[in-house]
Amino acid sequence: MDNGDRDDAGSSAAGRRRATLILVLFGLFIMGMSARGITSAYQAAHGGGVVGTLTIASRTCGKAGCRYTGSFVSDDGRTRVTTVETDDLESDPQVGDRVKARYAGGRAYAPEDSHAWQDAAVFVLAGAAIVVYALWRHFTHRRRPT
Protein backbone atom coordinates (compact mmCIF):
# COMPACT_ATOMS: atom_id res chain seq x y z
CA MET A 1 0.00 0.00 0.00
CA ASP A 2 1.39 3.41 -0.87
CA ASN A 3 0.92 6.67 1.07
CA GLY A 4 -1.95 7.74 -1.21
CA ASP A 5 -4.12 4.88 0.07
CA ARG A 6 -3.26 5.69 3.68
CA ASP A 7 -4.12 9.38 3.16
CA ASP A 8 -7.48 8.46 1.59
CA ALA A 9 -8.32 6.17 4.53
CA GLY A 10 -7.29 8.87 7.02
CA SER A 11 -9.36 11.57 5.35
CA SER A 12 -12.33 9.20 5.09
CA ALA A 13 -12.14 8.44 8.82
CA ALA A 14 -11.82 12.14 9.60
CA GLY A 15 -14.89 12.84 7.45
CA ARG A 16 -16.89 10.19 9.30
CA ARG A 17 -15.84 11.66 12.66
CA ARG A 18 -16.82 15.14 11.46
CA ALA A 19 -20.21 13.92 10.21
CA THR A 20 -20.83 12.14 13.53
CA LEU A 21 -19.91 15.27 15.49
CA ILE A 22 -22.22 17.44 13.38
CA LEU A 23 -25.15 15.01 13.79
CA VAL A 24 -24.58 14.70 17.55
CA LEU A 25 -24.41 18.48 17.98
CA PHE A 26 -27.54 18.93 15.84
CA GLY A 27 -29.43 16.33 17.91
CA LEU A 28 -28.30 17.94 21.17
CA PHE A 29 -29.36 21.36 19.87
CA ILE A 30 -32.85 20.07 19.04
CA MET A 31 -33.10 18.41 22.45
CA GLY A 32 -31.91 21.52 24.29
CA MET A 33 -34.22 23.91 22.48
CA SER A 34 -37.20 21.61 23.01
CA ALA A 35 -36.44 20.74 26.62
CA ARG A 36 -36.22 24.38 27.72
CA GLY A 37 -39.95 24.72 28.26
CA ILE A 38 -41.07 21.13 28.69
CA THR A 39 -41.15 21.32 32.51
CA SER A 40 -43.33 24.43 32.71
CA ALA A 41 -45.57 23.17 29.88
CA TYR A 42 -46.07 19.86 31.71
CA GLN A 43 -46.84 21.66 34.97
CA ALA A 44 -49.34 23.94 33.22
CA ALA A 45 -51.06 20.95 31.62
CA HIS A 46 -51.47 19.33 35.02
CA GLY A 47 -52.79 22.28 37.02
CA GLY A 48 -49.54 24.10 37.84
CA GLY A 49 -48.90 27.77 37.34
CA VAL A 50 -51.29 30.67 37.86
CA VAL A 51 -54.66 31.14 36.14
CA GLY A 52 -55.60 34.59 34.91
CA THR A 53 -56.29 36.74 31.87
CA LEU A 54 -54.03 37.32 28.88
CA THR A 55 -54.70 40.49 26.91
CA ILE A 56 -53.49 39.95 23.34
CA ALA A 57 -51.16 42.74 22.14
CA SER A 58 -49.82 41.10 18.97
CA ARG A 59 -50.64 38.13 16.79
CA THR A 60 -48.34 36.53 14.21
CA CYS A 61 -49.63 33.65 12.12
CA GLY A 62 -47.85 31.27 9.78
CA LYS A 63 -48.16 27.74 8.43
CA ALA A 64 -47.63 26.21 11.88
CA GLY A 65 -50.31 28.31 13.55
CA CYS A 66 -50.42 31.58 15.47
CA ARG A 67 -48.13 33.02 18.12
CA TYR A 68 -49.47 35.61 20.54
CA THR A 69 -47.83 38.19 22.79
CA GLY A 70 -49.63 40.07 25.49
CA SER A 71 -49.86 41.02 29.15
CA PHE A 72 -50.98 38.62 31.85
CA VAL A 73 -52.77 39.35 35.11
CA SER A 74 -53.64 36.54 37.52
CA ASP A 75 -57.19 36.19 38.81
CA ASP A 76 -56.09 37.28 42.30
CA GLY A 77 -54.08 40.24 40.92
CA ARG A 78 -50.81 39.14 42.54
CA THR A 79 -49.06 38.12 39.33
CA ARG A 80 -48.66 40.74 36.61
CA VAL A 81 -46.43 40.17 33.60
CA THR A 82 -46.20 42.81 30.88
CA THR A 83 -44.85 40.61 28.08
CA VAL A 84 -45.87 36.97 27.78
CA GLU A 85 -45.73 34.75 24.69
CA THR A 86 -47.87 31.76 23.81
CA ASP A 87 -48.86 29.58 20.91
CA ASP A 88 -51.04 27.33 23.05
CA LEU A 89 -54.50 28.87 23.17
CA GLU A 90 -57.71 26.96 22.52
CA SER A 91 -59.46 29.83 20.77
CA ASP A 92 -58.25 32.06 17.94
CA PRO A 93 -58.11 35.48 19.64
CA GLN A 94 -57.48 38.77 17.89
CA VAL A 95 -55.41 41.74 19.07
CA GLY A 96 -57.17 43.37 22.02
CA ASP A 97 -59.06 40.22 23.08
CA ARG A 98 -58.86 39.03 26.68
CA VAL A 99 -58.62 35.26 27.10
CA LYS A 100 -58.26 32.90 30.05
CA ALA A 101 -54.73 31.52 30.29
CA ARG A 102 -52.39 29.74 32.67
CA TYR A 103 -48.98 31.34 33.33
CA ALA A 104 -46.08 29.02 34.14
CA GLY A 105 -42.35 29.30 33.61
CA GLY A 106 -42.48 32.61 31.76
CA ARG A 107 -45.07 31.53 29.16
CA ALA A 108 -48.84 31.42 28.88
CA TYR A 109 -50.73 28.20 28.15
CA ALA A 110 -54.31 27.15 27.61
CA PRO A 111 -56.03 27.18 31.01
CA GLU A 112 -57.17 23.55 30.62
CA ASP A 113 -55.93 20.57 28.60
CA SER A 114 -52.72 22.09 27.26
CA HIS A 115 -50.79 19.71 25.02
CA ALA A 116 -47.70 21.90 24.55
CA TRP A 117 -45.53 19.53 26.59
CA GLN A 118 -46.33 16.66 24.21
CA ASP A 119 -45.08 18.63 21.21
CA ALA A 120 -41.84 19.43 23.05
CA ALA A 121 -41.44 15.79 24.12
CA VAL A 122 -41.65 14.65 20.48
CA PHE A 123 -38.79 16.97 19.54
CA VAL A 124 -36.70 15.88 22.53
CA LEU A 125 -37.16 12.27 21.42
CA ALA A 126 -36.33 13.16 17.81
CA GLY A 127 -33.11 14.85 18.93
CA ALA A 128 -32.21 11.84 21.06
CA ALA A 129 -32.86 9.53 18.11
CA ILE A 130 -30.48 11.57 15.94
CA VAL A 131 -27.75 11.36 18.60
CA VAL A 132 -28.23 7.61 19.10
CA TYR A 133 -28.24 6.96 15.34
CA ALA A 134 -25.09 9.03 14.78
CA LEU A 135 -23.22 7.27 17.58
CA TRP A 136 -24.49 3.82 16.56
CA ARG A 137 -23.44 4.40 12.97
CA HIS A 138 -20.05 5.75 14.03
CA PHE A 139 -19.19 2.89 16.35
CA THR A 140 -20.57 0.07 14.19
CA HIS A 141 -19.09 1.28 10.91
CA ARG A 142 -16.88 -1.39 9.39
CA ARG A 143 -14.03 -0.63 7.05
CA ARG A 144 -14.44 -1.88 3.55
CA PRO A 145 -11.63 -4.10 2.31
CA THR A 146 -9.40 -2.44 -0.28
pLDDT, tens digit (0-9, with 9 covering 90-100), for 34-77: 877 787 888 888 888 899 999 999 999 988 788 999 999 999 99
Output 124 or 15, whichever has higher pLDDT: 124
Assess contact for 89 and 80: CB atoms under 8 A: no
State residue 24's pLDDT score.
93
State residue 81's pLDDT score.
95
State residue 96's pLDDT score.
93
**Cα–Cα dist 23/133, whole Å:** 9
Whole-number percent of the chain with pLDDT over 90: 41
What does the radius of gyration of the chain's CA atoms come to, in whole angstroms? 23
Output 97 or 1, whichever has higher pLDDT: 97
The whole model's pTM is what?
0.65
Q: What is the mean pLDDT of the chain?
A: 84
